[in-house]
Amino acid sequence: MRRPVIGIIGNSHLINDEYPAFAAGEMNAQAVAEVANALPLIVPPDPNMVCLDALMATCDGFLFTGARPNVHPEEYGEDETEAHGTFDRARDRVALPLIRACVARGQPIFGVCRGFQEVNVAMGGTLHPEIRDLPGRDNHRMPPDGTLEEKFALRHPVTFSEDGPFAQILGQSQMMTNTLHGQGINAPGPRVVIDGHAPDGTPEAIYIADAPGFTLSVQWHPEWNAAEDPVSRPLFEAFGAACRAWSVGALRKAG
């Protein structure tokens, strides 16, 4: 059987501070290949290089990854401030319309960290520029020092709705996750369902109400240790299964 193709939304980088490149984290590709059992394909985050119709015809699903730049607040009707950090306007112009198109047609999407925030913004929601500045909230940012293992270590529980899709996939309503983000959901979009929270109330897991396809997104980084982690593995397996189902349906229509 043909392996589904999962587009991984890339990010813009400068190699040696001078050579422009598009890239995606190796652990994202590993999670897609080894756990979702799909073919990872890096998508250039530049609307001048991407035709959405052709991209959606090539890929069976899309992974919207984390990234250091944030979604520009203009996308949710707010002014830019220093607290909003850096931006990647080209990625905004690829990811946001792609999310809306996939949700509308039922093509599977999985949002991670910035991707989680992109899904909320694409569906009409807003973001807090800095979660740790809100009263009663914890610092969810990546620790500034330590090894990768220490930075991606499990740091807090997430509690899911008992009858929601996350609890169904994971088999329980609370799990430990890592946390490496500064921004987070302020107001959810009209169809965005918050299905999991951190102990301080920060939204951590969402899906789109009444969507015809897979639309789960998480604020943490499940790509870390995805093959072994009891949260990450079933999420990527479920995403891969949804992409295979989409691929089979697409082949039947083509035939």
Q: From CA 255, how far away is CA 236, in angstroms rounded?
A: 28
Please name the helix (run of DSSP H) or strand (run of DSSP E) that holds residue 63, with its range, or none.
Answer: strand 61-64
Q: DSSP letter at 70?
A: B
Q: From CA 34, how far away is CA 250, in angstroms rounded?
A: 23
Q: From CA 211, how far away is CA 190, in angstroms rounded?
A: 12
Tokens read off for 106 = 């039922």
Pair 38, 32: CB distance under 8 Å: yes
**Residues with catalytic function:** 113, 221, 223
Q: From CA 227, how far away is CA 232, in angstroms rounded?
A: 7
- Which amino acid does the sequence have at 70? N
Pair 102, 213: CB distance under 8 Å: yes
